[in-house]
Amino acid sequence: MANFIDYYKILGLSKDATSDDIKKAYRKLARKFHPDLNPNDTEAHKKFQQINEANEVLSDAEKRKKYDQYGENWKHADQFEQAQHQRSAGRPSAEDYSGFSGFNNEGGDFSDFFEQLFGQRHSSRQQKTNVRYRGEDYNAELKQKLSDAYTTRKEIITVNGNNIRITIPAGIEGGQVIKLKGYGGPGINGGPNGDLYIKFVMDNDTNLNRTGNDLSMTVDVPLYTAILGGEVTIDTLGGKIKLKIPPETLNGTKTRLKGKGFPVYKEEGKYGDLFITYNIKLPTGLSEEEKNLFRQLANLNK
Amino acid sequence: MEENELIPADDFCSYHQVSWAFITSLEDAGIIEIKRVEQQHFIQSEQLKELEKLVRLHTELEINSEGIAAIAHLLQRMNELHRELLTVRQKLQFYEH
């Protein structure tokens, strides 16, 4: 069973609120939480939904009466409902101020409480609230491995049963959205279709950190190589790279490899940089001979 | 999709029950562009999304066209800031690691 919802509380009103109070309270809150004014804010969308539902009930004299009458005992309202349906059948709608349309598909339904008390929303209102000419936009998320995003790939995705072949350019970023024109909901009255928005979610499967087109990583360098100089080979997304380590390289030294970072989105052949931080590894588990040699070194520096 | 590139402004207005004056006021504010072909007015389909959003704000919240123009600019600014925030967060993450 659905939980009781206090519609007065949602609109910040007391039970003796006049219809004018309700209208005012509703509009005030609607201006604050309207989805078109709160993009990317699902909390606001939810809140807006509740306000709408509260208004739908309290601004309609009959619904409000029923709601007030049964209140928290609404579960026994069945008989009342039957009588109500008969009476309201031929009645022209007294209220032409309909609810809002700002939602996308998600969260467009009223609560279970509402539906159990009043039945499905009246279709006349439902249609009126769906004010769009252009079809709805669809939103989808696509998970990508960072190592996959290094190259341009083709992928087939399924949206509402349709297979769509898409090309994902190298260098795409987490949070980035690509638009597929016309793959959203159908237009109404000859209006154009909506679009499909695909948001990429990056899953870092590497030991690299990515900032825009730049990559960074820590590379371990053996003590002897750091002191005497030498070479270290590292694995990058673009293949192996040999690094020249100059003699007396200090721990934490940073170096930049130009053009060895991530590919720049939609700019073929262009790459960011790779930033490397050297981590000098001290040898452990030294043999007696090694320890002696270090002692000699230590004595030299006394 | 191509055949829908231009939407007759009359169709749009009657479907949404908004006045032509509202549409032109948005054009005056530089928010949308109206194409004129042989004395007929058309709206480009790529502007429909933004336009329908503003129409909803206009009809549902009863905001006049001056208010809508201000909101449109603020929303755009908010979008830019939101994007900037995401980039900065990403950069910050790099230093926190």
In this prediction the ipTM stands at: 0.81
Q: What is the DSSP letter of A3?
A: P
A280 or B91, which is more confident: A280
In angstroms, the separation between the Cα of residue B91 and the nearest Cα of chain A is 6
* A209-300 fold: HSP40/DNAj peptide-binding domain (2.60.260)
A255 touches chain B (CB under 8 A): no
B61 touches chain A (CB under 8 A): yes
Give the global pTM.
Answer: 0.60
Number of helical (H) and strand (E) elements in chain B, helices listed first:
4, 3
Tell me how far apart the alpha carbons of residues B96 and A118 are, in angstroms, rounded to a whole number: 53
B94 touches chain A (CB under 8 A): yes
B79 touches chain A (CB under 8 A): yes
Phi, psi of A162 (to 5 degrees): -100, 135
Segment A173-189 shows an average pLDDT of: 85
pLDDT over 90 (residue B70) = yes
pLDDT-based confidence at A90, cuts 50/70/90? Answer: very low
A38 touches chain B (CB under 8 A): no
Inter-chain touch B52–A216, beta carbons under 8 Å: no
The answer to whether residues A164 and A156 touch, using CB atoms and an 8 Å cutoff, is yes
- Residues in chain B within 8 Å Cβ distance of A102: 56, 60
End-to-end alpha carbon distance in chain B? 46
B12 or A226, which is more confident: A226
Alpha helices (runs of H) in B17-64, residue ranges in sequence order? 20-28, 48-60
Tell me how far apart the alpha carbons of residues A14 and A6 are, in angstroms, rounded to a whole number: 10
Of A34, A189, A192, the CB nearest to B45: A192
The answer to whether residues A197 and A141 touch, using CB atoms and an 8 Å cutoff, is no
A7-129 CATH, one of 3.40.50.970, 3.40.50.800, 1.10.287.110, 1.10.645.10? 1.10.287.110
For CA atoms B59, B61, B67, B72, the dihedral sign is negative
In angstroms, the separation between the Cα of residue B61 and the nearest Cα of chain A is 6
Inter-chain touch B48–A193, beta carbons under 8 Å: no
Residue B8: predicted pLDDT: 87
A138-203 CATH, one of 2.40.50.140, 3.40.50.2300, 2.60.260.20, 3.40.50.10490? 2.60.260.20
B25 touches chain A (CB under 8 A): no
pLDDT over 70 (residue A186) = yes
B57 touches chain A (CB under 8 A): yes
Q: How many CB pairs under 8 A join A and B?
A: 75
B18 touches chain A (CB under 8 A): no
Inter-chain touch A212–B90, beta carbons under 8 Å: yes
B56 touches chain A (CB under 8 A): yes
Distance between alpha carbon A268 and the CA centroid of its chain, in Å? 28
For chain A, residues classed under CATH 2.60.260.20 are 138-203, 209-300
Query: What are the CB-based long-range contacts (under 8 Å, 24+) for A165-172?
Result: A166/A198, A168/A144, A168/A200, A169/A265, A169/A266, A170/A263, A170/A265, A171/A213, A171/A262, A171/A263, A171/A264, A171/A265, A171/A266, A171/A267, A172/A144, A172/A200, A172/A265
Inter-chain touch A34–B61, beta carbons under 8 Å: yes
Segment A6-28 shows an average pLDDT of: 93
Distance between alpha carbon A170 and the CA centroid of its chain, in Å? 21
Tell me how far apart the alpha carbons of residues B51 and B33 are, in angstroms, rounded to a whole number: 10
Inter-chain touch B15–A39, beta carbons under 8 Å: no
A39 touches chain B (CB under 8 A): yes
Mean residue pLDDT across chain A: 83
The answer to whether residues A234 and A294 touch, using CB atoms and an 8 Å cutoff, is no
Residue B2: predicted pLDDT: 46
How many CA atoms, within 13 angstroms, populate the side-chain half-sphere of residue B52?
27
Segment A62-83 shows an average pLDDT of: 70
pLDDT over 60 (residue B49) = yes
Q: In the structure encoding, which two tokens stand for residue A64, read together? A: 């409000």
Measured between CA atoms, the residue of chain A closest to residue B88 is: A211
Inter-chain touch A133–B53, beta carbons under 8 Å: no
A188 touches chain B (CB under 8 A): yes
| Side chain identity, residue A251 | N
Burial class of residue A117 (count of CB atoms within 10 Å of its CB; 0-12, 13-18, 19+): buried
Inter-chain touch B53–A30, beta carbons under 8 Å: no
Tell me how far apart the alpha carbons of residues A255 and A233 are, in angstroms, rounded to a whole number: 14
Structurally, at CATH architecture level, domain B2-96 sits in: Orthogonal Bundle (1.10)
For chain A, residues classed under CATH 1.10.287.110 are 7-129
pLDDT-based confidence at A91, cuts 50/70/90? Answer: very low
Tell me how far apart the alpha carbons of residues B31 and B71 are, in angstroms, rounded to a whole number: 11
Least confident stretch, A157-171, A243-257, B61-75:
A157-171
End-to-end alpha carbon distance in chain A? 83
